[in-house]
Amino acid sequence: MKSIIQYKNKNYTIDFSAPIDISILLKGDDSNPNAWYVPAPEIKPVTTKDFIGSVKSGASTNFNNIFFNPHAHGTHTECVGHITKDFYSVNDVLKQFFFLAEVISITPEKVGDDFVIQKHQLGTVLKDTTAEALVIRTFPNSEEKLSKHYSHTNPPYLSEETAIFIRESGIKHLLIDLPSVDKEKDDGKLLAHKAFWSYDEELRLDATITEFIFIPNLVVDGLYFLNLQIASFVNDASPSKPILYKILDTQ
């Protein structure tokens, strides 16, 4: 299904028949991706003395409890409330759900013992972009990301300078295929988070970070239409399902 959408005084022909889901499935076992030193998520039937919420066990319905951490167990979207004393809910912050998004691929550079996404790697891409969302795929990019356990592995991250550059380029919604935009063990500095949300100045309350996405290699870099959907959680972060749509024409 092709539709013409008017967005910010331009007409975009969008192919809604071929959504590109860049979220990661949440599974209740160790095959689920994991970070931040917590156990695997659990999806289990409610069990009481007289009832097991499973059709296989004789119940009329499947009736599961789900225990997970949105930051540690898969694709999630977070707001500035992730790093502030004051409470902010991502459900209150994210009020629009469609954006122009620039998809880019980057191989993080080795800096000491780390691999870091540097400002100069984004310069030419963001110079003239009209996108409000930036979607970063890191190389190497394999399906191992769908089940990888990241704790104590020191994954790649964004430098503070890179996060500032992204913010100053007008990007309000940053999506990345890593468990965090920051270094795993940084003594709580959270330099990239704070830089992106302008923590020490005027907080960017309408900006979000989405982590733990996965972009298949068949998806080419370029401009897309992004649908960024979250579950209605009253929390700093929510599991989310970002969907990309190809732009066929612009007028």
Q: Which domains does the chain have, with CATH numbers?
A: 2-26+71-250 (3.50.30.50)
pTM of the full predicted structure? Answer: 0.96
| Residue 226 token pair | 């992004």
> What residues of the chain score a pLDDT lower than 50?
none
CB atoms within 10 A of CB 210: 26
Alpha carbon 152 to chain centroid, angstroms: 20
- Within the chain, residue ranges assigned H as helices are 90-93, 123-126, 160-168, 191-196
End-to-end CA distance of the chain: 19
CB 242 within 8 A of CB 211: no
Q: How far is CA 32 from the centre of its chain?
A: 16
Distance CA 233, CA 236 (A): 8
Cα angle: 185, vertex 190, 192; to 5 degrees:
115
The per-residue pLDDT for 1 is 73
Predicted confidence at residue 251, as pLDDT, reads 81
pLDDT tens for 81-121 read 999 999 999 999 999 999 999 999 999 999 999 999 999 99
Return the pLDDT at 162: 97
pLDDT at position 250, please?
Answer: 86
Residue 3: per-residue pLDDT: 85
**How far apart are alpha carbons 67 and 65 in whole angstroms?**
7
User: Using one digit for the tens of pLDDT, what is the confidence trace for 217-241?
Assistant: 999 999 999 999 999 999 999 999 9
Q: How many Cβ atoms from other residues are within 10 Å of residue 53's Cβ?
A: 17
Per-residue model confidence (pLDDT) at position 203: 96
